[in-house]
Amino acid sequence: MNYNLIVGCGFSGATLANLIASKLNEKVIIVDKKNHIAGNCYDYRDKNGIMIHKYGSHIFHTNNEKVWKFVRQFGDFNQYMHKVIAVIDGIETTIPFNFNTLYDVFPHTLARKLEEKLLEKFEYNKKVPILEFQKQDDKDLKFLANYVYEKVFLHYTAKQWGVNPDEVDGAVTARVPVYLSRDNRYFQDKYQGIPLEGYTKLVENMLNHPNIEVRLNTDYKDVKENFDRLFYTGAIDEYFNYKLGQLPYRSVKFKLIEYNREFYQNNSVVNYPCNYDFTRIHEYKYYLNDKSEKTVIAKEYSEFFEPGKNERYYPIPKDENTKLYNKYLEESKKLENVYFLGRLGDYKYYDMDKAILRAIELFEEIKERK
């Protein structure tokens, strides 16, 4: 019988713990230095009965059948389809920038002219990353591209990442492309929703197995037992005591405010690309349609990660960081039966479904080796 230690009770660790315990019938100890499970997806009901996403809004979305089938064993989801509103020049409109946005922010005749030019150049429904969209020859489309770059991406990205859009990996801004469509949803994935009982309950159900022991408030460094395999979903540079240098991360701060009124804004997330120091405001009661005379919002402020001061939230996808990560990856290959995964272990900007898929694939790999 193998004994497995998993570091981190987020989706990556919990997925692996569940698969090892249930499919291989092996013992798993899973630890987290936090006082709760579910990692950054942790949610809880506050005194008003509103489900708060402690680390910011989490919307589950995937096209992957395997992942969808896996998560639904542990809880049902509602049919919430996420939409994001942005305030641009004082106008509330849709993000990603699409044909509806075009008509919201420009006079009708100008919007119509731009729409026609866009449809001459691009296929309907195409998603064009802003850095590609900027490469326009036509004078009117150039004007539009500059407008979208300035009003949607430039200042938001500066707030979120501390740099201009062209200084982070193109994949980051490509997550929110210019969308030549009238589809106002943030994601087009086949499956989307929020777990009816919350993410924490979903992860609790994943960990609820006689072969799994959960230890909270426990740092990896404090685990004394020996194990046959170690799965590490914490930061890979920290594991190696930063011997090759520190991988940079962005952190986020959420300022929670309760109001004595039913709603604060008319959508779950409102982005403020050009105004204020925060990037967006979350209003949590929308996700599960929570009924309360009060409401709770969170203003999201981004900052650099500094050890001891705040938490790691986002790896920063950028060539020099990937190079450093690759050096750590090479180090990790020298270790036997030690595996890294997750947003921090792989230093990858995974959404929940990608973190789960990575854990499922790693499980399939180790199962073969057994």
Instruction: Assess 352 for contact with ligand UDP (CB under 6 A).
Output: no
Compare residues 156 and 249 and give the one whose CB is closer to ligand UDP: 156
- Map the footprint of ligand FAD across residues 199-238, applying CB under 6 A: 219-220, 233-234
- Map the footprint of ligand UDP across residues 219-258, applying CB under 6 A: none
Which of residues 11, 70, 156, 231 is near ligand UDP by CB under 6 A? 156
Give the angle 41-45-47 at the CA atoms, nearest 5°: 145
Instruction: Assess 192 for contact with ligand UDP (CB under 6 A).
Output: no
Instruction: Assess 95 for contact with ligand UDP (CB under 6 A).
Output: yes
273 makes contact, choosing from ligand UDP, ligand FAD, none, with CB < 5 to 8 Å by partner type, with ligand UDP
Compare residues 180 and 360 and give the one whose CB is closer to ligand FAD: 360
Stretch that binds ligand UDP, among 111-119, 155-163, 195-203, 355-363 (CB under 6 A): 155-163
Stretch that binds ligand UDP, among 8-16, 42-50, 114-122, 169-177 (CB under 6 A): 169-177
Stretch that binds ligand UDP, among 22-30, 31-39, 156-164, 191-199 (CB under 6 A): 156-164
DSSP string, 90-109: TEEEEES--HHHHHHHS-HH
Report whether 224 contacts 93 (CB < 8 A).
Answer: no
- Map the footprint of ligand FAD across residues 63-92, applying CB under 6 A: none
CB of 270: closest distance to ligand UDP in angstroms?
Answer: 10
Residue 250 is which amino acid?
R
Instruction: Assess 318 for contact with ligand FAD (CB under 6 A).
Output: no
Instruction: Assess 86 for contact with ligand UDP (CB under 6 A).
Output: yes
CB of 289: closest distance to ligand UDP in angstroms?
Answer: 22
Sign, Cα dihedral of 237, 238, 243, 249: positive
Angstrom distance (rounded) from CA 77 to CA 269: 19
Which of residues 44, 56, 213, 322 is near ligand FAD by CB under 6 A? 56
Compare residues 11 and 339 and give the one whose CB is closer to ligand UDP: 11
Q: Which of 136, 129, 169, 171 is nearest to 152 (CA)?
A: 129
Instruction: Assess 10 for contact with ligand FAD (CB under 6 A).
Output: yes
Helix (H/G/I), strand (E/B), else coil: 170: helix
Which of residues 59, 95, 207, 247 is near ligand FAD by CB under 6 A? 59
User: Alpha helices of the chain — where are they, by DSSP H?
Assistant: 11-23, 65-72, 99-105, 108-121, 130-133, 139-148, 155-161, 170-174, 199-207, 236-239, 319-333, 342-345, 352-369
Residue whose pair of structure tokens reads 């990660």 in the numeric block:
305
Which of residues 17, 19, 30, 32 is near ligand FAD by CB under 6 A? 32
Angstrom distance (rounded) from CA 222 to CA 31: 10
Cβ-defined contacts of 155-158 (< 8 Å, 24+) = 155/273, 155/274, 156/271, 156/273, 156/274, 156/279
Distance of CA 32 to the CA centre of its chain: 19
Instruction: Assess 18 for contact with ligand UDP (CB under 6 A).
Output: no
Stretch that binds ligand UDP, among 62-70, 138-146, 170-178, 257-265 (CB under 6 A): 170-178
Angstrom distance (rounded) from CA 91 to CA 292: 28
Helix (H/G/I), strand (E/B), else coil: 284: helix
Angstrom distance (rounded) from CA 356 to CA 367: 16
- Backbone dihedral angles phi then psi of residue 318, each to the nearest 5 degrees: -165, 145
Helices H, strands E: what count in the chain? Answer: 13, 18
Instruction: Assess 98 for contact with ligand UDP (CB under 6 A).
Output: no
Compare residues 156 and 232 and give the one whose CB is closer to ligand UDP: 156
219 makes contact, choosing from ligand UDP, ligand FAD, none, with CB < 5 to 8 Å by partner type, with ligand FAD
Instruction: Assess 15 for contact with ligand UDP (CB under 6 A).
Output: no
156 makes contact, choosing from ligand UDP, ligand FAD, none, with CB < 5 to 8 Å by partner type, with ligand UDP
Interface residue list for ligand FAD (CB under 6 A) = 7-13, 31-34, 39-41, 55-60, 219-220, 233-234, 252, 313-314, 342-344, 350-353, 355
